[in-house]
Amino acid sequence: MKADADLSTVAGAGLRLDVLSDDAVRQIHQGTLEVLEQTGVLVEDEEPLDILADGGCAVDRETHVVRFPPEVVEQALASCPPRIFCAGRDPKHDIWEEAGGEVHFTNFDEGIKYIDPRSGEYRDPTKDDVAEVARLIDALPNIAVYESAVGPKDVPGETASIHGLETALNNTTKHTGCEAITGWEARTCIEMAATVAGGMDELRKRPILGLGVCPVSPLKLTRDATEVIIETARAGLAGTVLSMAMSGGSAPVTLAGTLVQHNAEVLSGIALMQLTQRGVPAVYGSSTTALDLRYAAAAVGSPELALISACAAQLARQYRLPSFIAGA
């Protein structure tokens, strides 16, 4: 770039960091297809087993292991739109997420403890704290989307995600994520967002809500994850499938092996999403990192996390999928 180049011409360009060669990307994809077809994924619940069986997967009803033929995975990826509209309650906060597009930032979720900014007390968060954090995120111009920053502990655990979303919708005008962990919670949160938007049709036109799930490593789609995937797909809203594998713990110690497993977990969730409802928006997610073998803890903020995250974003671009990548 020339020194006197007008930087405004590239201001909307996406950040790109290719760690993997094209050949390495192909090998990881082929390895992923082999794992999905030969090893398979454990799926706990009966409804997703029915959907996957009807979609062409090999389902073992006794072990609950599902094996995904390569063509099922490829067709699912081809069904995903490359651009996703994320509406804010205020249109000035509308954004588009797309593969290789502009980079947006969000807060990560979900904090289970809170340091009171006034007293310094380290305590459980409350609904009032959720409201304060939501207003803070709303005021920060460089944060594009509000994710559930902290979970309220002064309400019943069975409805905490619903209380959290209700508080967020009342305190931020940005696109909002929620922490629904059952099908019932997902339906309730979707109904709440539809009420705010003016009905389900309006919510689909201006989706102010996004949902997401995390498979359990290694290679397991739990009942709560599949319930949320199915409800999100049926509503026509964007769903994020985010693996949290730990290299050296719940995933192979090698980078390549971890990426193959991570990729298989994400693509299995996306396949279920597309077999539930073709064409629904899907986001490729990663919070995969390495296990600190000395302390048996997730090495968040480590060089390994940065390397894995860059590779995950590269895989998402290869699939023409928007990505949600964890940072430090």
Domain locations in the chain?
A: 22-325
| Coil vs helix vs strand at 86 | strand
Look up residue 241 and give its two tokens.
């499938």
Q: Is the pLDDT of residue 9 over 50?
A: no
CATH topology of domain 22-325: TIM Barrel (3.20.20)
Supply the pTM of this predicted model: 0.93
Please check whether residue 151 is in contact with residue 161, taking contact to mean a CB–CB distance below 8 angstroms.
yes
In this predicted model, what pLDDT tens digit does every residue of 121-166 receive, in sequence order?
999 999 999 999 999 999 999 999 999 999 999 999 999 999 999 9
| pLDDT at residue 293, rounded to an integer | 87
Q: Which of 119, 136, 125, 213 is nearest to 171 (CA)?
A: 136
Instruction: Tell me how far apart the alpha carbons of residues 233 and 21 are, in angstroms, rounded to a whole number.
Output: 33
**What are the contacts of 75-78 at 24+ separation with CB within 8 A?**
75/274, 76/267, 76/270, 76/271, 76/273, 76/274, 76/275, 77/267, 77/270, 77/319, 77/320, 77/321
Which residues are paired to 57 by β-bridges? none
Three-state DSSP state, 72: helix
The pLDDT > 70 percentage for the chain reads 95
Calpha distance 214→204 (Å, rounded): 23
Tens-digit pLDDT profile for residues 176-229: 999 899 999 999 999 999 999 999 999 999 999 999 999 999 999 999 999 999
pLDDT > 60? residue 76: yes
| Distance separating alpha carbons of residues 52 and 271, to the nearest angstrom | 8
Between CA 261 and CA 93 the distance in angstroms is 35
For residues 162 and 188, is the Cβ–Cβ distance under 8 A? yes
pLDDT digits (tens, 9 = 90+) for 85-118: 999 999 999 999 998 889 999 998 888 999 999 9
| Mean pLDDT score of the chain | 93
